[in-house]
Structures are given as C-alpha cells and as structure tokens.
Amino acid sequence: MASATFQLPFEQPIYELEDQIRDLEGVEPKTAETHEQIRALRKQLTESLRSIYKDLDEWETVRVARHPDRPMFTDYVDLVFDEFVELHGDKFFGDDRALRTGFAKLDEFKVMLVGHHKGKTLKERNECYFGCAHPEGYRKAMEKMRLAAKYGLPIITLIDTPGAYPGIGAEERGQAQVIAESMLEMSRLGTPIICVVIGEGGSGGALGIGVGDRVAVLENAYYSVISPEGCAGILWKSHDYAPQAAKALKITARHLERLGVIDDVVEEPLGGAHRDHHQMATRLKMYLVKTLRELSQLSPDELLAGRYEKFRKIGPFLEAAQP
C-alpha cells in the first residue's frame, strides 16, 4: 500500500526490496529459481520491516504518524464501524470538516463517534484544513457528546490533528474558550469515553476531544504539548531542530506509556498502519470493543470518579514536608 509518490527516507531499504520483488513477479514464465528468489526476498523484506520499525526514533515516529497513506478517520469509519450516521452542524456557526461527529455501530454497541479528519485529496485536505479544527468543530463535538451522554451512548474519539487551527477566524470565534470548555464538559459526561490518538496528537487541539476514561495511542502515533517544529522554533530558534525537540519531548506511544500518562498502546501491523489498513482497523476494533465492555460495567458515578482521578494524578512534583 506504499504510496508511489511519498517515501520515508528510513524506509529506503524496504522500497528497494519491494521493487526487486515486483520485478521478479513480472517475469514470465517463472522458473523454480525465480520462485525461490521471490521467497527469499519476501523473507528479507519482513526482516527489514521488523528491524526498521523495532526502533524508530522519535522523529521517525512523527514522520510515520504523518504518513499520507496512514489510515484516517474515514478509513476507520469504513473498516471498524458497521454504520455511521454523520451529524453535521454546531447549530451556531457552521460545519467544520476537520472534526466529524455522528452515531455509529460497533458490534453490540451504539456509540457517538467523534474524530479529526485530515482529508485524502488536496481538495478534501483544504476543506479539512489538514485536520486543524476551528471553534465550530469543538462546539459541534461538545454538542454531540452531550447528546450522547443524555441517551447513555458511549463516546469514542479518534484524535488526529497537528493542532487546533491558528487563524483570525478561529481566534474571533473563541478557539481557547471552546477547547477549555470541551475539556471541562468531557470531564463530567456520565457515559463511557474512549479516546484514541490514531496519528497526530497535537496539543490543545488533540486534548479538546481527549478527556476520557481510557486514553490510548496507536504504536506509531504521537501525542505532544507542542509540535516538534514549534518547540524547536521557540527553544532552538530554528525548525531544523525538530528531531531534537521530538526526542526531548518524549512524544511516542512507548514513552507516554512509560510515563504513565496514557492507558494503552494499540499495536500496529508490521511496518506501520499505512501498510495494512485492514489489520490496523481490526486491532483498533478489538481494543475498542474490549474496552467498551469493561467500561459498560461501571455506573456513571464510578466512571466520573475514575476519570477525575486519572487526570488528577498526572504530573510529578516534589513535595517537601511542611515546615
């Protein structure tokens, strides 16, 4: 499924093997020796994928998380859910295409699905501002989540944004205020909430739909207080230091798990989610169903108490004995 136009530098050995395999597969008729060569190359390819993806560094992970072939919101809608009934407006200003909301079915569950969408074609990407939502997006999400809570539907949010949109209209319509309100609102909705970072977990724009009972991050996704480029620009005075910033910020799923900030890491197929949408969707679905079954055992009060405690205890500090 690798894109013909988009290549990651560290995947170079993989592309070369894929090319060789493709060439040999075109040979007709194939001798026993050709078949043997193809088999050997496939084995080599698997090993190559394994060794490259075993220890991606932080910046490489960011590159994978942003891969244009990586499954997006609409892919998961098709591959994970049995039905999606999109609900569009925020009943106030407009319909943000960067943040999508609607009823969805997942096995025995009826849920409210909320998620960022980056867009696939250039036209769609422009409509979606590359996944950067405006205040109307967060307002819409808040409205639909309240609706879900009213009828006891669990909420699933799929987070994939470089950040909330930085623009004049966004500021005029209260970007800071809606993100704040959305977090506050999510902290008190008495229905199960599962949040999964499927690609980019960019700062407040991510957290605006990120307050839940379980927070998971896909293996090659990232979640950060600021984009590596933004951090590099401020602290290193140049965007060229984004790889250093990514490393310093410890933004990968494994780091976040070790730091105790997220609940789960959902493993990706070998070589990343962009290589196998179906397998990725299957794994995500398994995770969601399992977690929904756990959370649906809890009363609203238990959910709210647990959710509060979960965020309450995040953030290490030193507490000296009172003098």
Spell out the residues 6+ positions from residue 233 whose beta carbon is closer than 8 angstroms to its own.
239
The helix (H) or strand (E) run that includes residue 160 is strand 155-161
The distance from CA 25 to its chain's CA centroid, rounded to whole angstroms, is: 35
Residue with Cβ nearer another protein (248 or 289): 248
Complete DSSP assignment for 178-227: HHHHHHHHHTT-SS-EEEEEEEEEEHHHHHTT--SSEEEEETT-EEESS-
Among positions 156, 231, 292, 303, the unique one binding another protein when judged by CB under 8 A? 231
Q: Which stretch binds another protein (CB under 8 A): 66-74, 102-110, 118-126, 242-250?
A: 242-250
State the minimum distance, in angstroms, from the CB of residue 97 to another protein: 17
Is residue 320 part of the contact set for another protein (CB under 8 A)?
Answer: yes
State the minimum distance, in angstroms, from the CB of residue 252 to another protein: 11
Burial grade of 320 (CB within 10 A; 0-12, 13-18, 19 or more): exposed
Measured CA to CA, the distance from residue 145 to residue 43 in angstroms comes to 47
* Alpha-carbon dihedral sign for residues 111, 112, 116, 120: positive
Among positions 9, 26, 29, 323, the unique one binding another protein when judged by CB under 8 A? 323
Residue with tokens 């090659």, as numbered in its chain: 220
Q: Which stretch binds another protein (CB under 8 A): 77-85, 152-160, 162-170, 264-272?
A: 162-170
Residue with tokens 């509060």, as numbered in its chain: 308
- Nearest one of 200, 194, 187 to 111, comparing CA atoms: 194
Residue with Cβ nearer another protein (216 or 280): 216
Is residue 24 part of the contact set for another protein (CB under 8 A)?
Answer: no
Range 163-182, binding another protein (CB under 8 A): 164-168, 170-177, 179-181
Tell me how far CA of residue 189 lies from CA of 102, 264, 301, in angstroms.
Answer: 17, 22, 10
State the minimum distance, in angstroms, from the CB of residue 112 to another protein: 19
Range 195-224, binding another protein (CB under 8 A): 203-204, 207-208, 210-211, 223-224
State the minimum distance, in angstroms, from the CB of residue 303 to another protein: 13
Measured CA to CA, the distance from residue 7 to residue 25 in angstroms comes to 22
Is residue 93 part of the contact set for another protein (CB under 8 A)?
Answer: no
Among positions 39, 50, 91, 188, the unique one binding another protein when judged by CB under 8 A? 188
Is residue 250 part of the contact set for another protein (CB under 8 A)?
Answer: yes
The β-bridge relationship of strands 155-161 and 109-116 is: parallel
Range 256-285, binding another protein (CB under 8 A): 256, 259, 261
Count Cβ atoms below 10 Å from residue 121 Cβ, excluding itself. Answer: 8
Q: Which stretch binds another protein (CB under 8 A): 57-65, 82-90, 244-252, 272-280?
A: 244-252
Residue with Cβ nearer another protein (31 or 313): 313
Is residue 308 part of the contact set for another protein (CB under 8 A)?
Answer: yes
Chain residues in the site for another protein (CB under 8 A): 164-168, 170-177, 179-181, 183-185, 187-188, 203-204, 207-208, 210-211, 223-226, 230-231, 234-236, 244-245, 248-251, 256, 259, 261, 307-308, 311-312, 314-323
